[in-house]
C-alpha cells in the first residue's frame, strides 16, 4: 500500500483501508488537477488472509528464521474468508478508468463511527464504508480482528444458523436471488470483475447449501 498524506503530486491515488487496519487517519478525497485521490474503508475485512495461496510456504519462512505465521486450528476453523482482493481488483479497474477515461470514481462515506468506536448492525457487522454483498446480503457475522489471535490480523466469522438464515430470507433460492442481484450491480458499477463475480456467486451457493443442510 502507498501512503500519501495531502501530497500535491501529479498522480492518481487510491488509498484503501480495511476494517482490520483502521487508524484514526483519513485521507481527504480530492479532484484538483494536481491531486486526484479517493479514500475507501471496507468493513468486516481483516488485515490479512493467513492461508492466502500466494503467501510463502511455512517451510520457506522457517528457513529465514523469521516469525512463523500463527496457524492455530482455532483460527483456521472460523477464519474470516471475506475476499478483499476482489475489491482491490475493482479499485485498480476504477483507477485505470480514471486515468484513461477521466471517469472519476464515486466518493463513499467511511465506516460509521460513534464516540470514536465503529457502529455495528444487528448481525455484528460494521455499518457504512465500501459495501459489498457479503455484508448487504449477509449469511455471517464478520470480525476484522480475531480476539483469539495474539496478532489480531486474520479476522473471524460466524455463519448464521439455519433458523436465522430462513428468518431473513425465507428460502435459499430467495437468498441467492438477492445476493446475485447485489453482485450484478457491483459488476455494472465496475467494483467487481465478471470473473470475481462468478466466484462470489459460487461461494454463496456453497455456503448457503451448507447452512441449509443441502
Convert the pLDDT of each residue in 95-127 to its tens digit.
999 989 999 999 999 889 888 788 999 999 999
Instruction: Name the residue with higher pLDDT: 206 or 88.
Output: 206
132, part of any domain: yes
Q: C-alpha cell of 59? A: 517451510
Average pLDDT, the chain: 81
7, part of any domain: no
User: Which of the 8 DSSP states describes residue 211?
Assistant: H
Give the per-residue pLDDT at 143: 85
Give the per-residue pLDDT at 23: 64
| CA 75 – CA 69 distance, rounded (Å) | 11
112-116, 162-166, 179-183: range with lowest mean pLDDT: 112-116
* Inter-residue contact 204 to 212 (CB < 8 Å): no
Average pLDDT over residues 125-138: 94
- The predicted-structure confidence for 1-56, as pLDDT tens digits, reads as follows 233 333 223 334 556 666 666 666 778 888 888 888 888 888 888 876 655 554 55
63, part of any domain: no
Give the per-residue pLDDT at 1: 26
pLDDT at 68 over 80: no
Give the per-residue pLDDT at 6: 33
130, part of any domain: yes
Give the per-residue pLDDT at 25: 72
* Inter-residue contact 100 to 200 (CB < 8 Å): no
88, part of any domain: yes
Average pLDDT over residues 195-205: 96
Pairing of strands 117-118, 35-42: unpaired
* Inter-residue contact 175 to 169 (CB < 8 Å): yes
Domain containing residue 105: 12-55+69-212
Pairing of strands 30-32, 35-42: antiparallel
| CA 193 – CA 190 distance, rounded (Å) | 7
139 band by pLDDT with thresholds 50, 70 and 90: very high
4, part of any domain: no
Instruction: Name the residue with higher pLDDT: 58 or 10.
Output: 58
pTM: 0.81
pLDDT at 183 over 90: yes
3, part of any domain: no
7-11, 43-47, 72-76, 186-190: range with lowest mean pLDDT: 7-11
Give the per-residue pLDDT at 128: 93
106, part of any domain: yes
Q: Give the number of domains in the chain.
A: 1
Give the per-residue pLDDT at 4: 33
Amino acid at each position: 500500500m502507498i501512503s500519501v498524506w495531502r501530497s500535491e503530486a501529479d498522480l492518481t491515488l487510491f488509498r484503501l483501508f480495511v476494517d482490520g487496519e483502521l487508524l484514526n487517519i483519513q485521507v481527504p478525497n480530492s479532484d484538483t488537477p494536481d491531486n486526484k485521490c479517493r479514500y475507501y474503508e471496507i468493513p468486516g475485512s481483516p488485515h490479512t488472509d493467513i492461508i492466502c495461496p500466494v503467501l510463502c510456504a511455512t517451510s520457506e519462512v522457517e528457513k529465514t528464521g523469521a516469525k512463523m505465521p500463527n496457524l492455530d486450528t482455532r483460527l483456521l476453523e472460523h477464519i474470516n474468508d471475506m475476499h478483499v482482493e476482489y475489491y482491490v481488483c475493482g479499485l485498480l479497474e476504477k483507477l485505470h478508468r480514471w486515468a484513461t477515461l477521466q471517469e472519476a470514481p464515486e466518493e463513499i462515506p467511511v465506516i460509521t463511527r460513534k464516540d470514536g468506536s465503529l457502529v455495528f448492525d444487528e448481525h455484528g457487522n460494521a455499518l457504512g464504508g465500501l459495501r459489498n454483498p457479503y455484508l448487504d446480503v449477509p449469511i455471517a457475522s464478520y470480525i476484522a480482528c480475531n480476539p483469539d489471535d495474539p496478532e489480531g490480523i486474520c479476522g473471524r466469522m460466524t455463519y448464521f444458523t439455519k433458523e436465522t438464515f430462513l428468518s431473513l430470507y425465507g428460502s435459499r433460492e430467495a437468498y441467492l436471488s438477492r445476493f446475485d442481484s447485489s453482485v450484478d450491480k457491483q459488476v455494472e458499477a465496475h467494483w467487481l470483475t465478471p470473473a470475481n463475480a462468478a466466484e462470489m456467486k459460487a461461494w454463496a451457493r456453497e455456503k448457503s447449501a451448507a447452512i441449509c443442510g443441502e
